Amino acid sequence: MRIITFGTFDVFHIGHVNILERAKELGAYLIVGVSSDALNISKKGRPPIYSQADRMKIVDSLHCVDKVFLEESLELKGEYIKKFNADVLVMGNDWEGKFDCFSSLCRVKYFPRTEGISTTQVINMVRELA
């Protein structure tokens, strides 16, 4: 089974590790689309803290991850699923229902988010300490 998932993975934290490890438990090969800096600027109005090159390198260094690629557009998910021959699309449940339209291409599975941690929270905590 080939599993695909997507994310920004900025200021990498335990919630990111948990979802990637859970995704890998579903199959033998885990493919991760890391969203580009340009995609984040257009989506959130600011660049990520870590560059796309660094975010890709961090995700690629995990033993549960087999392949990393750059996600350049949210609209290309179907193309990426086909290109990488994915059997299952995994996302956190903050995206619940949002990717059900791809269920004709592959299984779509949402995992519960890890409670109590997010990139925004870490940024705010560091800001308060500074």
Q: Does residue 6 belong to the site contacting ligand C2G (CB under 6 A)?
A: yes
Sign of the Cα pseudo-torsion (130, 123, 115, 68, in order): negative
- Please identify which residue in 41, 74, 76, 126 interacts with ligand C2G, judged by CB under 6 A: 74
Q: How far is the CB of 7 from ligand C2G (least distance, A)?
A: 3
- Please identify which residue in 2, 4, 15, 52 interacts with ligand C2G, judged by CB under 6 A: 15
- Please identify which residue in 94, 96, 100, 126 interacts with ligand C2G, judged by CB under 6 A: 94
Q: Does residue 19 belong to the site contacting ligand C2G (CB under 6 A)?
A: yes
Instruction: Please give the DSSP secondary-structure letter assigned to residue 75.
Output: G
Q: Does residue 48 belong to the site contacting ligand C2G (CB under 6 A)?
A: no
Q: Does residue 100 belong to the site contacting ligand C2G (CB under 6 A)?
A: no
**Cβ 39 vs Cβ 74: under 8 Å:** yes
**Cβ 99 vs Cβ 91: under 8 Å:** yes
* CA dihedral of residues 96, 58, 69, 74 (deg, nearest 10): 40
Whole-angstrom CA distances from 62 to 12, 26, 99 are 11, 16, 25
The site for ligand C2G (CB under 6 A) is made up of: 6-10, 15-16, 19, 35, 71, 74, 91-92, 94, 113-114, 117-118
